Chains A and B, each alone.
Chain A
């Protein structure tokens, strides 16, 4: 499959074009985009695993409510799990932190910080990011944000427990203490501070990405010769740049409400457990939701766009055929980016919205579904009359298509206000966005890891373990999330500690059990991957620079690329997906080759 894939501009001169750096400068405080990309990848994979573990704990309570957790129940303190039975406050902490960790510390840093950092400069033919020191700083700020978030678990009262959305006034009044000290050292306050770190990190990163894509493209690399993945990162960076600051503002305001006793989100006349709450009032609880969702809806696209980018790369490479509608796909995601700023209130249909406003946001929501359908259709059409190579990355990319379709389609009843009346805040929502993120973004992440691992390490991941990982994951991911649609239809609310408290929940408790068992099996299904990831570093099949016979620029650099990336300055001659060009002896025609 690999074999002769060395040609044109890249030569073979060892990999020492720079003098050696000390360990600390090379691997810890590195300013090389590739090392930072790997740092991001490893850190966020750890966070993904942690977030997954939190969820597996929750799934016990959901499957077997109020039963002691077997085997590991006694590892936890009596304050959160007396007798091995999870308390509601601990359950709520797990829920809030699962969401926060998965979104802000796991998937986004992995897709943007990890893949974006590692692959994007290589794909545009840049020696590094525009601002290497800023790049290092954004990683370390992200790292600090992660540490703050983790520290919140050890606060008195536990980690934040008001949901990953932290709706005020609940988030302001929960875990409050009498003194400033007690207010400061509380899970929710740490959550807010952690968010401020993470947002700052994203801002620094997004400035860097945009400038790099605009300024550092190789000679001949016009905007419409950029691989689709780079375009997806470009749009994503704009979303991060413009959508995150309002949440930063909201975070500061909520910190003021918690620590200084202001009333930005606190209306007048609050009575908490029979006592008048010590707030002057005059604030608006809905203000928080507007500021939050103004970020968090674009954030949804931040979660999926780079995933679409990875899948597009993998599909083009493994179908041996140009992507169908490359330009249409780019226009679609740019449009998607714009639209994502004016759909946020569809998360708030139940807050007492009038017909006109709800119709507006429902209409924008329907409009934004069109470009998503376009991108998905384009990828499907790319399969037509192709020659599909069922490699492991391709398997994940192929599974992505129908799974993401389920995730997208189930957004429809939620985006229409009338059907949302019944489905809002039920398990249907959980099923919907997990289908987008798990067999969507996370499968795209796996596709990306299997695809670019040879570039980063010079070795391939094992195919058999990879296929095992794939089949188990695809089965159990569906096992976890598909029952949720039925739970949602039946009216089971999300974030419920025990759904059997309600008649409609008790009747379908078996579905919760099915989800749980699938989730634990999904956890086990990741073992082949973890094993593969570490084993292949030493024992994987060695590869040259272009093992997949790919066309984009990252495959012109040695595997792994040295500091500065390319041995000779790359020049780009054609579009990114010139596969199976008629009259060409080989079925791929790389961007960096002068002639076939």
Chain B
């Protein structure tokens, strides 16, 4: 019976093949086009947690509200153009070979190998290109984003970010602009998630929020750490990503060029509710930010009374 089944297959070979290719193309067309269409239809601002998130999201990179982000986007774009050129080049050669050199009567393979000067040049071009993007477009960006923190003279605004399963805590120095001492032994649930030593003078007015607020157009330094496991501080619209590692304090900095409400994401698997570990990022003009900070610290003072 099995043999018979196989024979049917081999007899109907051409018909099956044609039918099958047709079906395949159809599936491909529907599979690719339909979701593409719906994706564009959906590419509007979404409302996730009661607060309207600004920006238009869809295919391609998310909106960029940072001052440095264009350099990263530029690198990504250059790389993809290069990749596309290389891929199309290879592809043309491949398809050409498949068409020209398919087995047919009267055609035999040549024992001689191609003298591949163009291949050698292509290889050299790839190498040179890689050196250029590494030295010219990657290293400087990395150095400025991850390492060259703004100096104190530029008056950067500092926030400490303390990650935990599954929340972000943002620790602000309060009106005095100085962080109080903090240590793990002071952590006390929701009352003191950042472990601030309230007996320290500088720590009295420190406040901790679940939302990341900062003023637009000013250099911001986030000092990242984690209480439990490794998380990753990801600001898609700010082109910032940095792991938060328990036992380490790692600074990142950025400058926003535009106000709005955006999201803070966790990019490193940190447990069951990893997918829910997000926070609101509010970029606002200095005056509004000061107002928010003042209101927040009043709540703290009220609580201490």
Chain A residues packing against B (C-beta within 8 Å):
87-89, 92, 161-163, 167, 169-170, 173-174, 267-274, 276-277, 281, 284-286, 319-322, 324-325, 350-355, 358-359, 362-363, 366, 369-370, 373-374, 376-377, 380-381, 383-390, 398, 401-402, 405-406, 409-410, 412-413, 416-419, 421-426, 462-465, 467-468, 471-472, 475, 479, 483, 486, 489-491, 493-504, 506-511, 513-514, 517-518, 521, 535, 538-539, 579-582, 587
**Closest residue of B by beta carbon distance from A413:** B79
Decide if A380 touches B93 in the complex (CB within 8 Å): yes
Q: How far is the CA of A381 from the CA of B96 in the complex (A)?
A: 11
Q: For the side of the interface on B, what is the size category?
A: 35 or more
| B97 near A416: Cβ-Cβ < 8 Å | no
Residue of B nearest to A289 (CB): B230
Q: B27 on the interface (CB 8 Å rule)? A: yes
B268 at the interface (CB under 8 A from A): yes
Q: In the complex the two chains form, is A418's CB within 8 Å of B71's CB?
A: yes
Name the contact of B271 in the complex, choosing from A174, A322, A406 (C-beta under 8 A). A174
Q: With a CB–CB cut-off of 8 A, which chain B residues contact A163?
A: 269
Residue B142 is within 8 A (CB to CB) of chain A in the complex: yes
Within 8 A of A (CB), among B89-120: 90-91, 93-94, 97-98, 101-103, 107-114, 116, 119
Cβ of B134: which chain A residues have Cβ within 8 Å of it?
A: 359, 362-363, 366, 416
Q: Determine the chain A residues whose CB is within 8 A of the CB of B10 once the complex forms.
A: 462-464
Chain A residues whose C-beta falls within 8 Å of the C-beta of B142 in the assembled complex = 355, 358-359, 417-418, 421
For the A-B complex with A88-B272, A274-B187 known, give 15 more contacts whose Cβ atoms are closer than 8 Å: A161-B272, A170-B271, A269-B247, A321-B109, A321-B111, A352-B243, A383-B101, A388-B98, A401-B90, A417-B138, A418-B71, A421-B72, A467-B20, A490-B61, A507-B42
Q: Chain B residues near A376: list those with CB within 8 A.
A: 90
Instruction: Decide yes or no whether B16 CB sits under 8 A from chain A.
Output: yes
**Known interface pairs A324-B114, A464-B13. Does A173 touch B228 (Cβ–Cβ under 8 Å)?**
yes
In Å, the complex CA distance between A403 and B234 comes to 30
What 9 A-B pairs come out closest when comparing CB atoms? A267-B247, A491-B236, A269-B184, A507-B57, A383-B97, A514-B35, A418-B141, A352-B250, A170-B229
Q: Given A173-B228, A388-B103, A419-B72 in contact, is the A579-B109 Cβ separation under 8 Å?
A: yes
What total count of A-B pairs have CB within 8 Å? 364
Q: Please give the distance in Å from B6's CB to the nearest CB on chain A.
A: 5
- Could you tell me the distance between the alpha carbons of A354 and B45 in the complex, rounded to whole angstroms? 36
Interchain CA distance A579-B108 in the complex, whole Å: 10
The verdict on A350 contacting B75 (CB below 8 Å), with A355-B147, A366-B130, A508-B58 known, is no
What is the minimal beta-carbon distance from A120 to any residue of chain B, in angstroms? 26
A359→B139 contact, CB < 8 A: yes
Inter-chain contact A351/B103, CB cutoff 8 Å: no
One of B149-157, B206-214, B273-281 at the interface? B273-281
| Chain B residues closer than 8 Å to A362, beta-carbon distance | 134, 138-139
CB distance from A335 to the nearest CB of B (A): 14
B13-32 contacts to A, CB under 8 A, are: 13, 16-17, 20-21, 24, 27-28, 31-32
**Complex Cα–Cα for A412 and B165 (A):** 32
| B residues less than 8 Å from A472 (CB atoms) | 24
Q: How far is the CA of A59 from the CA of B126 in the complex (A)?
A: 37
Q: B292: CB under 8 A from chain A? A: no
Q: Chain B contacts of A173 at CB under 8 A?
A: 228-229
| A425-B232 in contact (CB<8A) | yes
Which residues of chain A are within 8 angstroms of B236 by Cβ–Cβ distance? 422, 490-491, 504
Cross-chain contact of A510 among B38, B83, B102, B141 (Cβ < 8 A): B38
Known: A322-B113, A374-B123, A490-B61. A422 touches B46 (CB 8 A): no
List, in ascending order, chain A residues with CB within 8 A of B24's CB.
471-472, 475
Is B62 close to A, CB under 8 A? Answer: yes
Selected from B48, B97, B109, the residue in CB contact (under 8 A) with A587 is B109
Q: Which of B31, B32, B90 contacts A405 (CB 8 A)?
A: B90
Say whether B269 contacts A352, CB under 8 Å: no
A419 & B87 in contact (Cβ 8 Å cutoff): no
CB-defined contacts of B27 to chain A, threshold 8 Å: 475, 521
Cα separation A189 to B243 with both chains bound (whole Å): 25
Q: Are B94 and A370 in contact (CB under 8 A)?
A: no
Most B CB atoms within 10 A — which of A89, A362, A386, A495?
A386
Report the Cα distance A560→B145, complex, angstroms.
Answer: 61
Evaluate contact between A486 and B60: CB separation under 8 angstroms: yes
Q: Of B172-180, B197-205, B259-267, B295-303, which stretch is located at the interface?
A: B259-267
22 of the cross-chain contacts (CB-CB < 8 Å) are A92-B271, A267-B247, A271-B228, A285-B245, A322-B111, A369-B130, A381-B114, A386-B97, A388-B98, A418-B75, A425-B234, A471-B21, A475-B24, A475-B27, A479-B32, A489-B61, A501-B275, A503-B55, A506-B46, A517-B31, A580-B109, A582-B111
